[in-house]
């Protein structure tokens, strides 16, 4: 019995020792939980002791708000795959557009200054009251129509446009014809001689208005009308112009066309100290190479011919165009002479001169001295060689 007691006592002592060792290894559980809670708190994890595992607070990134890293392995396996939360769609409706925005209506493409206040949409579109009314009418809604405001007619001022230079006799003849009420005047000249410049100058002076055949109306007007490039009109437009010229009530019309002055007519009159050549309709047609119908030329009452400008007049035109520039541009006399000579080589001398001037940037320019390459030296033959 003593041996058995000794054996049982040894086993009991060993069991007690193992329990003490296990207790020493595990330590105080409260201290372990406190340390674990402190670490999780630093990591932003909230402890939940009900399930025996620390859990994160609900996260905005995943639905369910649980972090798989903090779970036990068996919990991770049993949990279905997490889905990302779909972005929220913020519902917006139409709002009154900010008055400080320089916005345009997305439907009629008119600015706020013309149509008034706008309504803004969530996608950056705008609509005015008139277009909103028209849109409601398309749905069959009974709304009072709102008329679009009339688009203001703003004439673009051209204070820097050059005046017609030279040929004072032709300019005076055209002005006198406008003042005396001649019904139809034909302004003829070579291309680039200044026909358009002369008519534009008269329009700035208030002596007429440039227009097109499509803009001619039956409304009587006392303002003379200027129609350019009659020789380039289509057959239909020339027919419409001929019908307009045949009306009894219409203003004075000045027609410009490319051509040369007709030869001296055998029909010449003299009176009041003046000599007047009266060209025939056939002579006028030949002067413009039959590009204008006879039905139009029959209405011509006065002919004004422009000759090609001289070199001095071209230089004055170039100086006037350079002086009208916003940024100062100057050319030396030698450079100006060469520029005018190059423009005179073109059959469209006036247009070519303007094109050459546009290619010169602001500044002061002189003609560059172009060094001609020296001629190639010929090899000398040695004496005694054939």
Rounded to an integer, what distance in angstroms lies between the CA atom of residue 121 and that of residue 53? Answer: 51
pLDDT in tens, 336-355: 999 999 999 988 888 899 89
A 10 A CB-CB count for 256 gives 23
pLDDT confidence of residue 149: 54
SS (H, E, C) 221-256: CCCCEEECCHHHCCHHHHHHHHHHHCCCCCCCEEEE
b/e string for 265-277 if b means 16 or more Cβ within 10 A? eeeeeeeeeeeee
- Are 151 and 105 contacting, i.e. CB atoms less than 8 angstroms apart? no
d(CA 277, CA 287): 15
Separation CA 207–CA 256 (nearest Å): 16
The DSSP code sequence of 289-357 is TT-S-HHHHTT--EEEEEPPPPHHHHHHHHHHHHHTSSS-EEE-HHHHHHHHHHHHTSTTHHHHHHHHH
- The predicted model scores a pTM of 0.53
pLDDT at 221: 72
At residue 356, the pLDDT reads: 93
**Widest Cα–Cα separation across the chain:** 174
In this predicted structure, what is the pLDDT of residue 368? Answer: 87
Collect all residues with Cβ–Cβ distance below 8 Å to 334 and sequence separation of at least 6.
366, 367
pLDDT of residue 7: 46
The candidate with the shortest Cα–Cα distance to 293, out of 365, 227, 232, 380, is: 232
What was the pLDDT predicted at 340?
Answer: 92
pLDDT value for 335: 92
Query: pLDDT digits over 121-142, tens only?
Result: 888 888 988 888 888 777 765 5
Please report the pLDDT score of residue 164 as a whole number.
Answer: 86
Q: What are the contacts of 373-382 at 24+ separation with CB within 8 A?
A: none
**Nearest to 335, CA basis, from 318, 352, 358:** 318
Averages of pLDDT over each 10 residues, the chain, 386 residues? 47 47 46 50 46 46 45 53 58 75 84 82 85 78 53 49 84 89 91 90 91 78 90 93 90 92 75 76 90 94 91 91 87 92 89 91 87 60 56
Which is nearest to 341 in space by CA: 369, 314, 372?
314
Single out the residue of 260, 240, 151 nearest to residue 195, CA to CA: 260
Q: Rounded distance, CA 82 to CA 74, Å?
A: 16
Distance of CA 385 to the CA centre of its chain: 75
Integer Cα distance of 76 and 67 in angstroms: 9
CA-to-CA distance for 232 and 291, rounded, in angstroms? 7
Question: Helix (H, G, I), strand (E, B), or coil: what is residue 136?
Answer: helix
Question: CB pairs under 8 A, 24+ apart, for 46-49?
Answer: none
* 252 in Cβ contact with 181 (< 8 Å): yes
Which residues share a beta bridge with 305? 188
Sign of CA dihedral 278, 282, 288, 292: positive
Q: Are 145 and 133 in contact (CB under 8 A)?
A: yes
């Amino acid at each position: 019995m003593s041996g058995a007691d000794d054996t049982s006592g040894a086993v009991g002592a060993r069991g007690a020792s193992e329990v003490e060792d296990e207790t020493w290894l595990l330590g105080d559980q409260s201290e372990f939980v406190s340390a674990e809670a402190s670490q999780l708190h630093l990591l932003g994890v909230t402890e939940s002791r009900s399930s025996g595992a620390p859990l994160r607070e609900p996260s905005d990134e995943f639905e369910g708000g649980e972090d798989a890293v903090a779970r036990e392995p068996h919990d991770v396996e049993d949990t279905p795959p997490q889905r990302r939360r779909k972005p929220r769609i913020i519902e917006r409706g139409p709002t009154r557009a900010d008055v400080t925005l320089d916005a345009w209506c997305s439907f009629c493409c008119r600015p706020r200054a013309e149509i008034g206040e706008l309504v803004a949409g969530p996608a950056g579109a705008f609509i005015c009251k008139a277009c909103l009314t028209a849109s409601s009418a398309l749905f069959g809604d009974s709304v009072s129509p709102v008329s679009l405001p009339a688009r203001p007619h703003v004439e673009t001022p051209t204070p820097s446009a050059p005046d017609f230079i030279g040929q004072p006799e032709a300019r005076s003849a055209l002005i006198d014809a406008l003042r005396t009420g001649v019904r139809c005047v034909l302004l003829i000249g070579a291309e680039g001689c200044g026909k358009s410049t002369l008519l534009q100058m008269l329009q700035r002076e208030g002596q007429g208005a440039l227009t097109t055949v499509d803009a001619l109306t039956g409304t009587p007007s006392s303002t003379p009308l200027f129609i350019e490039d009659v020789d380039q009109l289509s057959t239909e437009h020339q027919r419409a112009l001929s019908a307009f010229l045949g009306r009894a009530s219409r203003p004075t019309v000045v027609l410009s066309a490319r051509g040369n002055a007709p030869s001296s007519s055998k029909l010449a009159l003299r009176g009041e100290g003046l000599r007047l050549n009266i060209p025939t309709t056939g002579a006028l047609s030949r002067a413009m190479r039959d590009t204008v119908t006879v039905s139009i030329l029959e209405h011509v009452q006065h002919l004004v011919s422009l000759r090609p400008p001289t070199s001095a007049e071209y230089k004055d035109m170039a100086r006037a165009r350079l002086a009208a520039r916003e940024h100062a541009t100057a050319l030396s006399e030698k450079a100006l002479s060469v520029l005018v000579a190059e423009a005179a080589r073109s059959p469209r001398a006036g247009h070519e001169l303007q094109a050459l001037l546009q290619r010169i940037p602001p500044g002061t320019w002189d003609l560059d001295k172009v060094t001609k390459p020296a001629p190639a030296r010929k090899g000398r033959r040695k004496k005694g060689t054939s």
